Amino acid sequence: MIKRAFITESSLAGLIGQLAESGRRVLGPVRSGNRVMFKEVCSMEEVDIDHIVTTVSPKEALLPRCEEIVRWKNQGKETLMADENNPAVPTVVYGLRPCDARSVEALHAVYTWDTDDGFFLSKYDTTTFITLSCRHCDEHCFCVATGGGPGDTAGSDLLLTALEDGLYLVEIVSEKGQALANEYDSFFTMAHPGVMAGSGAESGHGAAANPGGATQSGATAQSGAEAPSGTTAQSDAEARHGTTAAPSPDQIDKESYLADVEKHFDLDTLRERLEKAFDGPVWEEQSLRCLGCGACAFVCPTCSCFDIQDETYGTTGQRLRCWDTCGLGQFTIHTSGHNPRETQAQRWRQRIMHKFSYGYNRLNITGCVGCGRCSRACPADMNLAEHLIDIAGAK
């Protein structure tokens, strides 16, 4: 059962600061011009939350764009192998959206499918995801159609939902989330700070590790939390919950604070159509605008394809694993020169079938979380949701 608590905006800033000071790598969304990218941060002042989704997903925390997997050195007739310079660093990813958190489950399924990928798992085991629910969406968002939602908890360790007056509802989803809440329990509270400020009652900080436990007095000063206006909070409580009494975390109607994301198509119907569409004309029609640039895959949170490259420097060398995509013309080319997917229509079909049919049949996952990044990034304005609607509606 998911446990709930509250955290104020100022306490959240304190939490992020202390996480950075603890030696963990803290990644958060940082704005640079018109792009928002996940970068290492030391404080909340660097973090941007005024965006729908980041330009590129936080996938790189678990699956680096290019990572070393082995090194070697030639000495005479011998080749000496060395450990890779690819250590897993304790990491907290803050500010990802629920669609991105849900993509972690898809990646985990792929990289533990027939054998455990040690490079991926070492990073997965040492990474904690603090997700922010979505209060806004745009025309490219279709997470609901793929089985997610703006407040979906899947893949998150802690899920934060912005309420009113700088207050967040915290959902403790996983063991890693519970461990973090236990370690930094003074930043959390079981009582609604805004309403309690108006009533003069204690705020109950430090109870997140033990929801429903005893109140710890004086914890507000420890965490630096500033209580929101009691009048505003009480009015909101009455409007949303029908009472001016302090709502507990479990009494919060989270759905009323979330974005209203339209369900563009039915996923089961889409899968049924795909089963019969392999040799259909839809792939040629939809791929006419595709440039085969791979931008969609490189911003995608669930794309997991990679290439292996060896780089040598005289007597030394390294083997690298780098992102790749089935949308590129050379992805399936054989040494003989034969390419089993020689047209862009075939490559487009593979991309859609992989995400919505093959992955589900083989691993019981949907390889798309409906974040819409591919549609935003496409230089030819190919809108994935529109294409999926066409396929799902085909007779």
**pLDDT tens per residue, the chain (395 residues)?**
689 999 999 999 999 999 999 999 999 999 999 999 999 999 999 999 999 999 999 999 999 999 999 999 999 899 999 877 788 999 999 999 999 999 999 999 999 999 999 999 999 999 999 999 999 999 999 999 999 999 999 999 999 999 998 999 999 999 999 999 999 999 999 988 765 444 433 344 555 545 433 333 333 333 333 334 444 444 555 555 555 577 899 999 999 999 999 999 999 999 999 999 999 999 999 999 999 999 999 999 999 999 999 999 999 999 999 999 999 999 999 999 999 999 999 999 999 999 999 999 999 999 999 999 999 999 999 999 999 999 998 64
Residue holding tokens 């990572």?
Answer: 67
pLDDT value of position 238? 56
pLDDT in tens, 123-168: 999 999 999 999 999 999 999 999 999 999 999 999 999 999 899 9
- 323-329, Cβ contacts within 8 angstroms, sequence gap of 24 or more: 323/63, 323/65, 323/66, 323/297, 323/298, 325/294, 325/296, 325/297, 325/298, 326/297, 326/350, 326/351, 326/354, 327/290, 327/292, 327/293, 327/294, 327/296, 327/297, 327/351, 328/292, 328/294, 329/292
pLDDT of residue 91: 98
Task: State how far the Cα of 37 lies from the Cα of 32, in Å rounded to an integer.
Answer: 8
E-state strands within 242-336: 306-313, 316-323
Q: At 352, list the tokens.
A: 């859609």
Alpha-carbon distance of 89 to 300, in angstroms, equals 23
Q: 131: which 2 tokens?
A: 């997700």
C-alpha span between 272 and 265 (Å, rounded): 12
Task: Outline where the chain has alpha helix (H).
Answer: 9-21, 98-111, 118-125, 175-183, 193-199, 219-223, 230-241, 267-275, 282-287, 295-299, 344-353, 359-363, 373-377, 384-393
- Position 226 scores a pLDDT of 39
Residue 322 has which token pair? 């780098």
pLDDT of residue 231: 42
pTM assigned to the model: 0.87
pLDDT tens-digit profile of 43-70?
Answer: 999 999 999 999 999 999 999 999 999 9
Q: What is the pLDDT of residue 361?
A: 94
Taking the CB of residue 312, how many other CB atoms lie within 10 A of it? 10
